[in-house]
Structure formats: C-alpha cells, structure tokens
Amino acid sequence: MKEYLPQKSVILKISRFSLVTILVFSWLFFGWPPIWQNPSIPQKIETAQALTQEANWAFTGNATGWTFTNGSGTDTCGNTTSATTNSLATFAYNANTSRGITGTTASTNYRGNINQTFVAPGSGTVKVNGNLRVDADVAGGGSWGSGWIRLDIYDSANSTYVANLACESFTSNQTAHDTSFGTASLSGGTTYTIRITLSGTVGRKALTFVVDNVIVTTAPVGLVATAPAGTTNAQLDWTTSTAGSGAPAIHGTTPYKVYRDTSSPVSTFLANATTNSYTDSSTAGGATYYYAITNLDTNSIESPVPSPGRIRSFLPALLINILFTPPIPLCPMLRLLLRQRTDLLPIK
C-alpha cells in the first residue's frame, strides 16, 4: 500500500520551497547589490598627488641658474600682459641678493625680469605655490614714483603668461618682507619658466628693488592609496620628496604631513609621517576618505595641499556559511546559486 504524506505536511514543504526560491531570486536580481559593486577586496584607487619641494633660492653666494633679462617684464599687479620699456641701470646679483636700480629720468618706466626654467614633476594636474622676499627704496629719500615686484609662471619660452604666485606694488620705502603665498595649477611633465619682474616708474630719483628667498613648491603625482585585504585600514604610499637645485633639504624628522577628510577639499591634519608611507588604522568600514600629502623643508616651509586622492574603506572580507535544510531537495542550479551568494554576502 502506498503511503501518502499528510496534506498539511505537503503544503508546508511546498511553502518552504517557494519562500526559499523567492528569497534567492529576489536577492540575485532585485534587492542586494551585485558583488562587483561592493567587492570584498577593493581595487587600487585612482592615482592622487604627493608633494615635492621643488626649489628655494636664497641667492646666498651666487645666482646660479638664473638669467637676467633687462628691459622687459610683466605689467603691474592684476595684469597678465608684458611690455618692453627702458632697461634698469643696474640689474644683477649683488651682496647675496638680486637687485635692480632704475635710471633717474622722471616719469620713465624701467624694468627687467629674472628667470629660470623648471619641469613640473609627475603627470596630470600639479599644484604649485610660491612667494619671495622683497624690498624697495628711493635713493636719498626723494619723491618715490611707483613700482612693483611680481613672481609669475610662464611657458618654457618665457613668452606666454600662465599664472601669478605673488605681486606687490609700492609708492613708498619698504622694509624687507616676505609676500603671501600664491597657488596655481600646472601640467605635470611640462617645462615652465619662473619669472620675477622688477619695475619702477621714477619720481625724481632712482628706485632700488631687491629680491631674495624665492620659494616655489610643486606637486608630483605619486600618492597611491589601497585598502589591504582583511582590514579597514588605508595604506598610503607616495614618491620620496627631494630638494630642488639650490633648495634646502627635506625636513629630517617630520618631512611629511598627512591630511584626511570625508569630503574634498582636504584640510584636516591627520598625522606626521617620517617616511614616504603611512597606514591609517583609524578608518571605518564602508566610508569614503580623501587624503593629501605635503612635505616640509628644513626651514619648515610646507608645500601646498594638492587635489586629494580618494579611497573607500571596506569591512574585512568574511566567509558566511548559512545552513539551509529544506524539506525537499533543491535543484542543482539553485544549490549553486545559494553557494555563490552565501559565500559573498556583504558585511554590514
């Protein structure tokens, strides 16, 4: 005699099978994100920027690398045009500074520019900032006239204006002081010219302009951030910074600063780094972080904060085994789908 399962038992088995089937297909096709949208081991992020001190010229002992071009330079602050006017009567390195002295003809403009080429490191967009020390006086306390000193970036031929980093105009005697730092964006791998213009329009007596301590810092591409498997850490590595020709060395004890925020731009200091590598173990799984690296030279001059690198921190990969004991056998395909999905459940 054949045995028949009670009707209630059959209905229960069918209900369980239907429920499991609905859950699996909902999981696969509707509810939870596919594995490629939430990988258990994140990919390496896009390349970011780390900064290198490019140069800091103090004109101490010489003016190596600089070219003195007399009779031309950039117009006064706020302009991007250049002009050829009268040559400065004296325009040269002198007593550990670089200086220009105008002629004495009233209402006459005299100018010259000091220039040197450099290659912006890395590739992509590279930030640069800079300033310089300036001084200006009139001979014998006569009527001043007007003048300006400015620090600009030009193309490799020193003919096309790119950006201004510092500019000050004068109508009275000045005490030697440092200008504010200006910032601009350049293209990595491209040759540029640093141009310093000294210009004065005479009142009654010659004007003297002095330039020293020219600082230019640039940002090479070098920062890479990764999330090591099995952790929520962010591993940061970047290119070792090196001093430019004639520049102070990189700081011996705290050469790098690490900045981190949860959005861009990045401005929150996180930690000092003694090498070109840092592990951030204070991150939380599932969060997005933005990082930037700067460096310091022996004078504690810090390079600009670049465009940040971004990383998403994932929770550690974890194998989850879910025990299914359905009352009736599952088809082989359903078994396979269950095995694939349970092995790759996202962790919340």
Same domain, 214 and 227: no
Same domain, 13 and 64: no
- Do 135 and 110 form a contact (C-beta atoms < 8 A)? no
Inform me whether the pLDDT recorded for 307 exceeds 60: no
Top mean pLDDT of 95-99, 156-160, 317-321, 332-336 is at: 156-160
Give tens-digit pLDDT for 46-101: 333 444 444 566 676 678 888 999 999 999 999 999 999 999 999 998 888 899 99
CATH of the domain at 130: 2.60.120
Same domain, 173 and 226: no
Same domain, 270 and 213: no
Q: Tell whether pTM > 0.75.
A: no
Same domain, 325 and 282: no
Does residue 153 belong to any structural domain of this protein? Answer: yes
The reported pLDDT for the residue numbered 31 is: 46
Q: What percent of the chain has pLDDT over 70?
A: 68
The reported pLDDT for the residue numbered 348 is: 37
Inform me whether the pLDDT recorded for 176 exceeds 50: yes
Give mean pLDDT, residues 276-287.
86
**DSSP state for residue 252 in the 8-state scheme:** S
Locate 84 and state its tokens: 């050829």
- Do 318 and 311 form a contact (C-beta atoms < 8 A)? no
Cα distances (angstroms) measured from residue 78 to each of 224, 226, 290, 331: 38, 43, 34, 76
Does residue 44 belong to any structural domain of this protein? Answer: no
Degrees, nearest 5: CA angle 243-248-252 = 85
C-alpha–C-alpha distance, residues 40 and 33, integer Å? 13
Does residue 1 belong to any structural domain of this protein? Answer: no
Does residue 123 belong to any structural domain of this protein? Answer: yes
HSE, side-chain direction, 13 A CA sphere, residue 125: 10
Radius of gyration of the CA atoms of the chain, in A: 32
> SS3 for 11?
helix
C-alpha–C-alpha distance, residues 336 and 320, integer Å? 15
Top mean pLDDT of 114-123, 155-164, 248-257 is at: 155-164
Range of the domain at 332: 7-39+319-343
Give mean pLDDT, residues 94-121.
91
φ, ψ dihedrals at 190, nearest 5°: -100, 145
pLDDT band with cut points at 50, 70 and 90 for residue 317: very low
The reported pLDDT for the residue numbered 47 is: 36
Give tens-digit pLDDT for 239-267: 777 776 666 777 888 888 899 988 877 88
The reported pLDDT for the residue numbered 42 is: 39
The reported pLDDT for the residue numbered 155 is: 97
Query: Which residue did the predictor score with more confidence, 288 or 307?
Result: 288
Same domain, 304 and 336: no
Query: Which residue did the predictor score with more confidence, 208 or 13?
Result: 208
Locate 282 and state its tokens: 């204070």
Does residue 46 belong to any structural domain of this protein? Answer: no
Query: Which residue did the predictor score with more confidence, 155 or 97?
Result: 155
Same domain, 143 and 84: yes
Does residue 199 belong to any structural domain of this protein? Answer: yes
Q: How many domains is the chain partitioned into structurally?
A: 3
Same domain, 191 and 70: yes
- Do 271 and 255 form a contact (C-beta atoms < 8 A)? no
Does residue 239 belong to any structural domain of this protein? Answer: yes
Inform me whether the pLDDT recorded for 299 exceeds 60: yes
Same domain, 152 and 292: no
Same domain, 155 and 287: no
CATH of the domain at 288: 2.60.40.10
Same domain, 82 and 155: yes
Does residue 159 belong to any structural domain of this protein? Answer: yes
Same domain, 202 and 281: no
